Amino acid sequence: MNNHQNAIFHQITNFLKTPLALLGVDLKNFQFNKICHFANHSYLCKGLYLKKLK
């Protein structure tokens, strides 16, 4: 994962921590990063435009 993907992954992880903790799901053992490889599945990004940061 590159730095941008890591930042997004950590934001998603932090967002999901509380609701999943209430459900008893432990994110440390959850292989979430395996389903976050959008670069390998370009059809998931169809119509998605990203701004390049300067």
Quote the pLDDT of residue 51.
58
The 10s digit of each residue's pLDDT in 26-40 is 555 555 545 555 555
Per-domain residue ranges of the chain: 3-45
**5-9, 10-14, 21-25, 49-53: least confidently modelled range:** 49-53
Residue 15: pLDDT over 70: yes
SS (H, E, C) the chain: CCHHHHHHHHHHHHHHHHHHHHHCCCHHHCCHHHHCCHHHCHHHHCCCCCCCCC
Residue 48: pLDDT over 60: no
